[in-house]
């Protein structure tokens, strides 16, 4: 049977950033499918950084965790609700063609034609769960041809650098060699059609698959049919062990760590998230997972961290996004705002420049009455604040970049105000009125002043509207006295006590003070009587405090005795307070609390006898006793 030449697609040549780490033939790679056949289906390819030749030459040297993918965002895209779906499966494969050139490229043209020779690396290295089914294939060579072609297209279309994820319709999510719809599924897009993929966390042995040189239609398991140890992928770590040779030979090279662009290292097989820049509005969209493979770090991003750039606080309030600029001014007003302008730019929270005003306008003008007027604005001013014709004293003053036109200085103008008069009524501004310091005077002219009204302000200080000469007073017994003069009057025209019953009555502009009506008083003897001198009304006494009561009498025998009475209710009821008192004299009286009140009176009386009805004299008015 003539051997078919494999297509040139197997001889991958990828270019672009990180091309040295681009997945292609002769490299072991991990494939994962999340088991979803609908739009949520996702697949994943990861270059493990190990060539098929290197692995087959010394498989025991790779017994370790070869990749920790916990930080790989491409792998995380296969998860639904934060977890891998139950149907998620994985496989690890590699394809190798050691033919000398593309023109004679053949899957079986090897340096050593013995399928079991350790030097024969032409074929497929893959995890297999059913290696015994190789002999059941109708045409192993045809299977080789189909698988080689499809895997070559798949790897070429993937253009994987480190790792990548795909969804249905993406280049790299295999849809059949001819686009007929052989979708990614259980057989990983038919890259190895006889493979049975494993669930997460389940180990799978790896075999080398080639052909027998004597029968190209016979599939052969290399390595004398023995597995090259076991691979496992638990959703985070990719590891390899060889139960038959658990010890790693001393001759194995130690995988080199990778230097990180920002300092430090990560171990072989480890990965780290890197960013294109340290500042970005979309840090997630500017990140990549960089994987260490024996000293070679995939990817190209060089920043360890990424943060959204900080906005800048503006001097006048508010913020400015990083990378944005704004015009600022050295002053809010300027004769030349263009020269007072500065462009301030925000760079991650740091605002360039130093001008602090948000806007600038031409210079305003100071107004004569205070305040300012914006340039270009006008205002009405007046020559005087008070005028009978304000329109005649008005002008418009306009501000032009700090220069105020016109010369009038008053902000407002009003008609002059009238003045209120002290005695009521008003006079107009500019008028005057006579006012007096006294309403009665012997010289009214001397008490007069003219009060003038000046726009609501009344001059002067006199408050009386008129003034007249003082009036004389009529006397009760006839005749008159002039205002300001006085006269002596008596209570009675006859009395034994004329000198005690007198008062001075004065005339004040027609009003005569006092009450007595007799012009004279003659001393005359009276029949016997008594007189209470104090208390005589209006006093206030304190209870439990000794007070003095005094009285006198006329024409009463010295041996005559008097009685003292008390009334609490203004004379309606009397009670004996003291008897046997002399005809004239005084006593000390201490009123008790029971006598407290505001209508107290005392009376001094002669006792009633067969020869006399008894004479009394009481307080002329009530007095008070308080506690």
For residue 166, name the pLDDT band (cuts at 50, 70, 90): confident
Confidence of residue 162 (pLDDT cuts 50, 70, 90): confident
Count the Cβ atoms, other than its own, within 10 Å of residue 308: 13
The pLDDT value given to residue 175? 47
163 Cβ neighbours under 8 A, 6+ residues apart? 44, 45, 46, 47, 69, 72, 74, 75, 289, 291
Q: Give the DSSP letter string of 207-263.
A: EEEEEETTEEEEEEETGGG----EEEE-SSEEEEE-TTS-SPPTTSPPPPPEE-TTS
Q: What percent of the chain has pLDDT over 90?
A: 52
Phi-psi region of 321 (alpha: psi -120 to 50; beta: other; left: phi over 0): beta
Length reported for the chain: 627
Q: Is the pLDDT of residue 408 over 60?
A: yes
Under the banding of pLDDT at 50, 70 and 90, the label for residue 171 is: low
The H-or-E segment that residue 474 falls in is strand 473-474
Q: Give residue 388's pLDDT band: very low, low, confident or very high (50, 70, 90).
A: confident
Question: What CA–CA distance (Å, rounded) separates 294 from 258?
Answer: 7
| pLDDT tens column, 91-116 | 898 877 554 433 333 444 444 567 78
CB atoms within 10 A of CB 468: 12
- For every residue of 66-132, DSSP letters joined together read EEE-TT-HHHHTT-BTTB--TT-EEEEEEEE---S-GGG--TT--SS--TT-TT---EEEEE-S-GG
Task: Kindly give the pairing relationship between strand 123-127 and strand 432-436.
Answer: unpaired
Closest among 236, 206, 242 to 223, alpha carbons compared: 206
- Which of 21-30, 64-73, 85-94 is least confident? 21-30
Most confident among 204-208, 384-388, 392-396, 439-443 (mean pLDDT): 392-396
Rounded to 5°, the CA angle 429-434-440 comes to 150
Q: List pLDDT tens digits, range 243-297.
A: 988 888 888 888 889 999 999 999 887 889 999 999 998 998 899 888 887 788 8
Question: At residue 343, does pLDDT exceed 50?
Answer: yes
DSSP letter for each residue of 498-550: GGGSEEEEEEETTEE-----BS--B------EEEEEES-SS-EEETTS-EEEE
CA distance 484 to 390: 55
- Of the candidates 270, 290, 283, the residue with the CA atom closest to the CA atom of residue 74: 290
Beta carbons of 384 and 413 less than 8 angstroms apart = yes
Question: Domains in the chain, please, with CATH?
Answer: 28-99+116-162+190-241 (no CATH), 258-298 (no CATH), 312-362 (no CATH), 364-405 (no CATH), 419-458 (no CATH), 473-512 (no CATH), 529-625 (2.60.40.10)
- Position 330 confidence tier, pLDDT thresholds 50, 70, 90: very high
Q: Label residue 410 by pLDDT band (50, 70, 90).
A: very high
Query: How far is Cα 472 from Cα 509, in angstroms, rounded to an integer?
Result: 6
Instruction: Determine contact, residues 475/485, Cβ cutoff 8 Å.
Output: no
Please report the pLDDT score of residue 159 as a whole number. 55
pLDDT at 248: 85
Answer yes or no: are the C-beta atoms of 333 and 362 closer than 8 Å: yes
State how far the Cα of 90 lies from the Cα of 75, in Å rounded to an integer.
12
Does residue 503 contact residue 482 with C-beta atoms inside 8 Å?
no
CA distance 288 to 17: 12
Burial level of 86, CB count in 10 A (0-12/13-18/19+)? exposed
> Where is 150: in which H helix or E strand?
helix 140-158
Res 7 pLDDT > 90: no
Is a pLDDT exceeding 60 seen at residue 497?
yes
Tell me the C-alpha distance between 500 and 518, whole Å: 14
Which of the given ranges, 5-14, 129-138, 426-435, 483-492, has the highest pLDDT on average? 426-435
């Amino acid at each position: 049977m003539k051997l078919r030449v494999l297509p040139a697609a197997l001889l991958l040549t990828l270019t672009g950033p990180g091309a040295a780490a681009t997945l292609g033939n002769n490299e072991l790679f991990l494939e994962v499918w999340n088991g979803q056949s609908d739009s949520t289906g996702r697949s994943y390819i990861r270059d493990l950084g190990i060539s098929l030749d290197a692995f087959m030459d010394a498989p025991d040297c790779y017994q370790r965790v070869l990749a920790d993918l916990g930080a790989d965002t491409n792998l995380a895209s296969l998860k639904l609700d934060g977890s891998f779906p139950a149907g998620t499966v994985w496989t690890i494969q590699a394809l190798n063609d050691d033919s000398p050139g593309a023109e004679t490229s053949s899957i079986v043209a090897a340096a050593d034609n013995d399928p079991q020779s350790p030097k024969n690396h032409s074929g497929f290295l893959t995890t297999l769960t059913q290696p015994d089914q190789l002999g059941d294939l109708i045409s192993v060579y045809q299977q080789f041809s189909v698988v080689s072609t499809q895997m070559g297209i798949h790897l070429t279309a993937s253009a994987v650098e480190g790792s990548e994820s795909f969804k249905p319709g993406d280049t790299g999510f295999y849809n059949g060699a001819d686009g007929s719809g052989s979708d990614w599924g259980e057989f990983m897009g038919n890259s190895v059609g006889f493979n049975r993929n494993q669930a997460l966390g389940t180990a799978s042995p790896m075999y080398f698959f080639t052909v027998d040189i004597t029968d190209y239609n016979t599939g052969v398991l290399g390595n004398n049919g023995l597995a090259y140890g076991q691979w496992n992928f638990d959703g985070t770590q990719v590891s390899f062990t060889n139960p038959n040779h658990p010890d790693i030979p001393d001759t194995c090279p130690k995988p080199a760590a990778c230097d990180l662009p920002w300092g430090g290292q990560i171990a072989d097989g480890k990965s780290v998230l890197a960013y294109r820049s340290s500042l970005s509005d979309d840090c997630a969209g500017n990140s990549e997972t960089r994987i260490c493979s024996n000293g070679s770090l995939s990817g190209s991003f060089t920043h360890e961290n990424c943060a959204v750039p900080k906005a800048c606080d503006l001097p006048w309030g508010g913020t400015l996004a990083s990378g944005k600029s704004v015009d600022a001014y050295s002053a809010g007003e300027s004769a030349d705002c263009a020269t007072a302008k500065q462009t301030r730019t925000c760079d991650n929270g740091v605002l360039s420049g130093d001008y602090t005003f948000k806007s600038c306008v031409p210079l305003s003008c100071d107004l004569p009455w205070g305040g300012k007027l914006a340039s270009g604005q006008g205002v009405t001013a007046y020559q005087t604040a008070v005028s009978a014709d304000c329109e005649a004293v008005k002008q418009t003053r306009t501000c032009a970049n700090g220069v105020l036109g016109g010369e009038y200085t008053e902000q407002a103008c009003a008609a002059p105000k009238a003045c209120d008069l002290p005695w009521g009524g008003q006079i107009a501004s500019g008028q005057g009125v006579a006012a007096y310091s006294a309403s009665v005077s012997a010289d009214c002219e001397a008490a007069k002043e003219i009060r003038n009204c000046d726009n609501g302000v009344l001059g002067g200080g006199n408050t009386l509207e008129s003034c007249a000469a003082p009036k004389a007073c009529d006397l009760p017994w006839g005749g008159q006295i002039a205002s300001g003069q006085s006269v002596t009057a008596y209570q009675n025209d006859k009395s034994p006590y004329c000198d005690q019953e007198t008062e001075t009555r004065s005339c004040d502009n027609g009003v005569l003070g006092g009450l007595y009506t007799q012009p004279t008083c003659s001393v005359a003897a009276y029949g016997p009587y008594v007189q209470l001198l104090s208390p005589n009304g209006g006093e206030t006494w304190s209870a439990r405090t000794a007070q003095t009561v005094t009285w006198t009498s006329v024409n009463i025998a010295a041996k005559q005795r008097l009685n003292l009475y008390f009334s609490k209710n203004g004379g309606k009821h009397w009670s004996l307070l003291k008897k046997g008192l002399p005809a004239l004299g005084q006593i000390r009286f201490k009123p008790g609390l029971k006598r407290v009140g505001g209508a107290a009176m005392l009376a001094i009386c002669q006792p009633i006898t067969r020869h006399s009805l008894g004479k009394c004299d009481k307080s002329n008015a009530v007095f008070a006793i308080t506690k």
